[in-house]
Structures are given as C-alpha cells and as structure tokens.
C-alpha cells in the first residue's frame, strides 16, 4: 500500500484570491497553511466494491506536506542505514478552485473536509485493483505545525 502514500508527493494545496476578508472560502484556504502529515488512507475499489484502510508505517509515517500561500513543499522519508532520512524535497505551485473545492497539482483532488487540525481529500486518480476504472482514494491528514 506504499503506493497510496507516495502520491502524497503530488498532493495539492489551496489558495484564495478573494478580496473579501470575511469570505468563508478565504478563511478555509487559510486553514491549509502549515505542515501536515498523512495518518490514514482509504481506497474503494470498483472491482469488488470494497474499502480498504491503510496506515503509513516506518519512515513513511514521517512524510510531511507544508503549504504556504502559493507553493507546496513535500518531504518523503526513506530508510537509510536503519534510520529515517528525508529524501529530496519536492516543491511546486498549486491551484485551488474555491467553488468546486478542486486542488490541482499535476492531478486533481477534492477537499472534502478542512478544519484547523484535519484535512481530508478524495481523488479518482489511480486504478488500485487493475480493473480499468479509477478507484476512490481518500487521504486523511493532521496538522502538525
């Protein structure tokens, strides 16, 4: 299930362009600023209509995504000589459509929940069961900074 967490590297962030300082969407976008860690993943496979839950373990559990107002910085960890070491960080720009809640960074994700401490996204980017249909992947993140 490592593949479930590696796409984490292409996960997108939100940005708000509204001039309305009282806008709930702007406040929602501001909630994303900070550092997040994925603590759980679920995927629903169309072949057998089942949902499987996976939890990152080992070095993978230390992966982080840090969002600022315009860029995302992803740091994945890997085992080197028995220690978890950060791999080469990945930085990129991202976009967010406030109306559809679509995050885009190479792939498209939907923000289904965001609070000051939790972020949940859903996407249809991967065919986990190999049946030719994109499956539903849900990722759960907690804010750590």
Which one-letter DSSP state was computed for residue 134?
Answer: P
* pLDDT for the residue 103: 81
pLDDT in tens, 27-84: 767 888 899 999 999 999 988 999 999 999 999 999 999 989 889 899 999 999 999 9
Check whether 124 has a pLDDT greater than 90.
yes
- Alpha helices per DSSP H over 38-111: none
**Number of domains forming the structure of the chain:** 1
Which one-letter DSSP state was computed for residue 131?
Answer: S
CATH code, domain carrying 53: 2.40.128.280
User: What is the domain extent for residue 89?
Assistant: 2-143
- Helix H or strand E segment including 55: none
CB-based contact 144:37 (threshold 8 Å): yes
Residue 65 CA: distances (Å) to CA of 48, 52, 88, 109, 130: 32, 23, 13, 15, 28
pLDDT in tens, 6-39: 444 334 333 333 344 445 556 767 888 899 999 9
């Amino acid at each position: 299930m490592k593949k479930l967490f590696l796409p984490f590297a292409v996960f997108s962030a939100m940005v708000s362009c509204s001039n309305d300082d009282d806008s709930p969407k702007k406040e929602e976008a501001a909630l994303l600023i900070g550092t997040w860690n994925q603590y759980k993943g679920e995927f629903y496979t169309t072949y057998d209509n089942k949902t499987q839950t996976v939890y990152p373990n080992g070095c993978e559990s230390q992966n982080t995504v840090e969002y600022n107002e315009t860029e995302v910085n992803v740091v994945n960890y890997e085992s080197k000589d028995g220690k978890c070491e950060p791999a080469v960080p990945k930085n990129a720009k991202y976009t967010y459509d406030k109306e559809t809640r679509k995050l885009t960074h190479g792939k498209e994700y939907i923000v289904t929940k965001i609070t000051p401490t939790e972020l949940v996204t859903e996407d249809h980017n991967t065919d986990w069961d190999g049946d030719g249909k994109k499956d539903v992947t849900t990722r759960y993140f907690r804010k750590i900074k």
